[in-house]
Amino acid sequence: NATPVSVLGLGLMGAALARAFLNAGHPTTVWNRSAGKADALAAEGAVRAATVAEAIDASDLIIVCVLDYPVVRALLEPVAGGLDGKTVVNLTSGTPDQARRMSTWAIEQGADYLDGGIMAIPQMIAQPEALILYSGSRRAYTDHESVLGVLATGRYVGTDAGRAALFDLAMLTAMYGQIAGYLQGVALVDAEGVTAAEITPLIVSWLNAMAATLPHDAEQIDRREYTTDVSSLDLNKAGLATLVQAYEDQGLPTDVLKPIQSLIERRVAAGHGTDSLAGLIELLRK
Ligand code: NDP
């Protein structure tokens, strides 16, 4: 059914969200600080709101997707009186604490609040491969699950409004580790005249195979028990020394390798050389 939706923020992501609602047949009202970014959407059938207040008036479901939380605050605070009875779904990236504070504030204004973490790039929006994590008001999620479903596959992760951001940041952290390792690895073959195109399919298969072993690591981490029949930290210490040597032989930087090498060496020095790699979590967790 055609639930009216208002979208505040028409940057690369906000515009993709608004277009997805529009294409799915939802009456869509849009607002952006630089009004020109609403032109294309208006031509496709979106209603252009002249002010944030007008956008909030137009629909009970308000999607916010702007640069950061201070901007969300700056936009919503002046129109706080209009939020009573509305559902605010904030898809702006932020920290768990920022999400919790925003939730408290929105609830004080009489709104139902859902925070979201978008695990997708704008081009993936409206496709099932796109994932959006949601947390906060369970009622808001259940009531609007099908409307939100036009944006991406939705996953509700709990009533704590900070949880979507928490999961989002953990997933991004893992992604940065992957891209960092990938770039460092490509630099090694590049130094010997091998193209990224040649090595990349092999790296992709390797990373997929290694990713499949993470649930086993998860069990160890949750049990705090790090026996291994795969490879010990002692072995990995020797392995890292070999890796670093290969880079140094080429005169290449080792910025990405050094931190993991240092963690392994510290854990071995503390007497845990026979533990698995997953045991490094003990140096990283609280
Ligand atoms: P853009 O840089 O394309 O757009 C930023 C948006 O914020 C614009 O609508 C901009 O308005 C608005 N904005 C910035 N400052 C202000 C301000 N002071 N007052 C009012 N509006 C302001 O970013 P995206 O659309 O890509 O990202 C939006 C959110 O989505 C971010 O939190 C981002 O982290 C998140 N996200 C983005 C992803 C991506 O791949 N792009 C992936 C996952 C999450 P104006 O047009 O007037 O400058």
Give the total number of structural domains in the chain: 2
- Please return the burial class of 89, using the count of CB atoms within 10 Å of its CB with bins 0-12, 13-18 and 19+: buried
Q: Which residues pair with residue 134 across a beta bridge?
A: 116, 156
Q: Could you identify the atom of ligand 1 that is nearest to the CA of residue 37?
A: 46
Residues 154 and 192 placed together within one structural domain of the fold: no
What is the 119 CA–ligand 1 centroid distance (Å)? 15
pLDDT at 1 over 80: no
What is the rounded distance in angstroms from the CA atom of residue 162 to the CA atom of residue 209? 32
What is the 221 CA–ligand 1 centroid distance (Å)? 36
Q: What is the mean pLDDT of the chain?
A: 98
pLDDT 10s digits, 9-43 = 999 999 999 999 999 999 999 999 999 999 999 99
**Percentage with pLDDT > 90 across the chain:** 100
What is the 91 CA–ligand 1 centroid distance (Å)? 10
Residues 239 and 257 placed together within one structural domain of the fold: yes
13 CB near ligand 1 (under 6 Å): yes
State which of 127, 159, 191 marks the end of a domain.
159
State which of 120, 137, 159 marks the end of a domain.
159
Which pLDDT belongs to residue 285? 97
Model confidence, pTM: 0.94
Average pLDDT over residues 54-75: 98
- Please return the burial class of 227, using the count of CB atoms within 10 Å of its CB with bins 0-12, 13-18 and 19+: exposed
Residues 188 and 154 placed together within one structural domain of the fold: no
Residues 131 and 11 placed together within one structural domain of the fold: yes
Residues 22 and 75 placed together within one structural domain of the fold: yes
Residues 20 and 151 placed together within one structural domain of the fold: yes
Residues 104 and 16 placed together within one structural domain of the fold: yes
Residues 243 and 119 placed together within one structural domain of the fold: no
pLDDT 10s digits, 163-184 = 999 999 999 999 999 999 999 9
pLDDT at 154 over 80: yes
State which of 138, 159, 180 marks the end of a domain.
159
Residues 246 and 187 placed together within one structural domain of the fold: yes
What is the rounded distance in angstroms from the CA atom of residue 262 to the CA atom of residue 265? 5
Structural domain that includes position 96: 5-159
Average pLDDT over residues 250-277: 98
What is the rounded distance in angstroms from the CA atom of residue 167 to the CA atom of residue 189? 34
What is the rounded distance in angstroms from the CA atom of residue 5 to the CA atom of residue 60? 7
Residue 52 — very low, low, confident or very high, per pLDDT cuts 50/70/90?
A: very high
**Percentage with pLDDT > 70 across the chain:** 100
Residues 78 and 194 placed together within one structural domain of the fold: no
**Residue 134 per-residue DSSP state:** E
Query: What CATH number has the domain bearing residue 237?
Result: 1.10.1040.10
The CA angle 52-58-59, to the nearest 5 degrees, is 105
Average pLDDT over residues 237-266: 98
Average pLDDT over residues 57-83: 98
Residues 84 and 208 placed together within one structural domain of the fold: no
